[in-house]
Chains A and B, each alone.
Chain A
């Protein structure tokens, strides 16, 4: 059993369709702690001690957020800046996060093809997520492939629901340690662990 910490950062959650559905499916899972950063820190005054305690108490950390301007929303950056302290998370004495696992869960309006060398975004999602990946590495954490929702602008409610179920299953599998490192190392996206059958995709 692994304990999951879902760090959720969305400044306009009230307007969100995709994340709202995803969160509704997983927030009450046993073994998962749902932590809504914008709700907890509307004034950006992050309680560093509390955040560090949460990190210590969990094995797998998830950064779930819309992929604004090839990155996360402002509060997530603030969280990184303040919580991942030198001497605690990184540096010669900073080993508190060593061995933990972490990955991004993001939604993006653009299609997967748009995130290629020849696409309009010119870089792949994995390349664009490099700052997150490197942050995790520097903190001694294992960075897993991201879970990515592409083309959300065209998602029907049925599409969203299918992905929400897929996401829920992924998290349950992680909680129950049913995914091996070999399996996730082979993936580009964690979506590939339990793919949605092509026949039901719209």
Chain B
């Protein structure tokens, strides 16, 4: 592909996505359908911008699924994964087993050889991680019972792919087509069985150990460069590297990166990794969906419309029924269970790989594979549509709102109510104080050494630039109640304030300010809770000075508290009368400000004696001759 045609291709894909996805979102169809439609439009069926190379792009874009599983792994701490073991192995295992057996039986019924039918059954038992998770995520269903159950099943399917790949060569009915394809030539393929197992286990252990002990210090060094793109490059390198390693030892790359994600889930770089990788994930997944749309062979459908549509209907019905029954067995309520059954009723992207693999291995004939690829693509395209119909027509009738029916054990951990942005000398005092009173908080800081140190001391600190929307989002700003803004310098704080006002208007902001001028800017930005960093300390010095001069401590403290209140009130008053532009331009503004402040101090402080304790007026009255 020369450069021009590469750019042309890129333009076509991007344009299709940019046009179709907003339209689909607008119509309430969700982004996945938008991408699929975009694919259909630019594909052979309509505009014919992409032809046969759509398949290559499909394989390339599958990497989006790999990245997605890495991101999902990041969100899933090991304890949570352990808690989900029952639904992964029980629900997931039964789904794969029962569905595969049913489809094998059906395959035999359709006249396939038993080996072919078994291959078919295994392939069709899988669902599409990409479509399901993307759609559920978009609908905000991932943390609900339906979402968690779906995820458990998908995770098991990803594991199940490994033995399937190993089993396929044994199912060959004709001699394999010798293509020397990458899928069959791994590093370990020449080794005896026990050594293969050993290598596989070794590489899993390597990922876990590296994640624990190697990757974090490496990321720390990378983060210390403070070059954002190098951190992004390192994140991508991590994912690509694991994918390559996994492929070499014959494991699923998605599984490998998922594992790495889980290992890094409690690391300080979690949010930074997530927000750096996320755009790649999104674009590649989008590309993947477009490619799926483009690969739907409408010619084939036109030739045998009844057969194709009948197969799609049969396939999805069988899958959905199995899922629904299993959901019931695993005590899903009716509402979530319908979502669960619809969500996983398609056949997944791995079918494309396995179909082409089974073609190479001579398991299935080409006509069958072509037909089934079309069926699979249609089933994928229908899933978001079904979920939409379910959401609009079925769920309202059942009346069980899925969002409120969350299940205890499998829920993703609640996010902390407090976020502290900036953990320097100002922020860490607040953090220590709040922690001493068991207030749960998420801390954002951009000094890697400090992040590392604080984490070793048991604080929950994350690395990153707090002004970034994606990091705030990842830190749970949508669920938090308070954000304490102590980052430096002042204009960075204003930037953060604007971001929060725009995206998280519910968050209460407590803002550090350097001085009066900083405070004015923050007032103009609408801040209500402003803390001038030196005010309280300076007044404490004043109190002690008065004490050493012989003033009563209580009197000095009261005076300071009154001064404080007066000053805060004056700040508000002066803020409203000062001419902003003039003040910013003029260098002598600060002196004028000081003058104003000092004058009003003198005026007002004389008016604020504690007359309640004064006896002068009483004595005066007492000593007056009675008339």
Contact = CB atoms under 8 A, between A and B. Distances in A.
Given A12-B613, A15-B614, A109 B553 contact: no
Interface residues of A, number: 13
Nearest to A18: B615
A15 B618 contact: no
A11 B552 CA distance: 9
Nearest to B620: A153
A109 B555 contact: no
Contact of A38 (B554, B614, B615, B622): B554
Interface string B456-497: 000000000000000000000000000000000000000000
A14 B555 CA distance: 9
Contacts of A38: 552-554
Contacts of A13: 552
Contacts of B557: 42-43
A47 interface: no
B53 interface: no
Interface in A3-59: 11-15, 38-39, 42-43
Interface string B521-556: 000000000000000000000000000000111111
A109 B619 contact: yes
Given A109-B619, A109-B622, A154-B622, A15 B553 contact: no
Contacts of B555: 12, 14
A22 to B, nearest CB: 16
A12 B614 contact: yes
Interface string B542-585: 00000000011111111000000000000000000000000000
A19 to B, nearest CB: 12
Given A11-B613, A12-B610, A15-B613, A153 B618 contact: yes
- Where chain B touches its partner, the secondary structure class is helix
B606 interface: no
A153 B622 contact: yes
Contacts of B623: 153-154
Contacts of B613: 11-12, 15, 68
B547 to A, nearest CB: 9
A149 B6 CA distance: 101
Interface residues of B, number: 16
A39 B554 contact: yes
Contacts of A68: 613
A42 B554 CA distance: 4
A191 B442 CA distance: 64
B74 to A, nearest CB: 45
A152 B556 CA distance: 26
Contact of A153 (B554, B556, B610, B615): B615
A149 to B, nearest CB: 13
Contacts of A42: 552-554, 556-558
A43 B543 CA distance: 12
A91 to B, nearest CB: 29
B555 to A, nearest CB: 6
Nearest to B551: A14
B206 to A, nearest CB: 56
B615 A109 contact: yes
Nearest to A151: B622
Nearest to B560: A42
Contacts of B551: 14
Interface of B: 551-558, 610, 613-615, 618-619, 622-623
Given A13-B552, A38-B552, 20 more contacts: A11-B554, A11-B613, A12-B610, A12-B613, A12-B614, A14-B555, A38-B554, A39-B552, A39-B553, A39-B554, A42-B552, A42-B553, A42-B558, A68-B613, A109-B615, A109-B618, A109-B619, A109-B622, A153-B615, A153-B618
16 contacts: A11-B554, A11-B610, A12-B610, A12-B614, A14-B555, A15-B613, A39-B552, A39-B553, A42-B556, A42-B557, A42-B558, A43-B557, A153-B615, A153-B618, A153-B622, A153-B623
